[in-house]
Amino acid sequence: MNADNNCVVEIEYTLTGDDGEVIDTSEGRGPLAYLHGHNNIIPGLENALAGKAVGDSVKVSIPPIDGYGEHDADLIRAVPRGEFPDPDKIEVGMQFQASSDQGPIVVTVTDMDAENITVDGNHELAGHTLHFDVNVVGVREATAEELDHGHVHGPGGHHH
């Protein structure tokens, strides 16, 4: 069968950046399983995999708009220390959930001084063109429970 909405698709993949450096890979972890048509993966990769079957390989370069978005300077904010419940425990590199106009986002602490703590709500891959090298290793119908949850259960998916 071919990858289509409401299928579980299993992929082996390697993601590299413009400089050829490997950003992420399934190698050593086993395939990733995702539910096609449910926003489990970035749109550019899902579109490239539509209609593919086991044994197909896909090489695709995905611009930021179909990946993790453009880098948005408005998502970087210097927040007064007093707005944090426990500012002395905060360190550069920490991540936490914050509210935004688009709902909850993950922000990363990127800088701090005596007055402010700077947080960045951009995804770490925002603004990057993503180069994927993918092998399709499984395509199956999703179960009713998987469709209900909007994600895959079992190997390569969620365990709960």
Smallest distance, Zn ion to C-beta of residue 142, A: 11
How far apart CA 23 and CA 16 sit, in angstroms, is: 5
* CB closer to Zn ion out of 35 and 75: 35
User: To the nearest whole angstrom, how small is the minimum distance from the Cβ of residue 151 to Zn ion?
Assistant: 5
Are the C-beta atoms of 123 and 68 separated by less than 8 Å? yes
* Torsion, Cα of 57, 140, 150, 28 (10° steps): -50
43 vs 154, beta carbon nearer Zn ion: 154
The least distance separating Zn ion from the CB of residue 8, rounded to whole angstroms, comes to 12
Tell me which residues in 2-31 interact with Zn ion (CB under 5 A). none
Taking alpha carbons only, the member of 11, 24, 37 closest to residue 156 is 11
Minimum Å gap between C-beta 157 and Zn ion is 8
Distance of alpha carbon 119 from alpha carbon 11, whole angstroms: 34
Q: Which residue's C-beta sits nearest to Zn ion? A: 149
- Restricting to residues 101-160, name those near Zn ion by CB under 5 A: 149, 158
Q: Which is nearer to Zn ion, 91 or 145 (CB)?
A: 145
The 10 Å Cβ neighbour count of residue 72 is: 13
Phi/psi at 159 (5° precision): -125, 110
Q: How far is the CB of 14 from Zn ion (least distance, A)?
A: 27
38 interacts with Zn ion by CB under 5 A: no
Q: Which residues bind to Zn ion, rule: CB under 5 A?
A: 149, 158
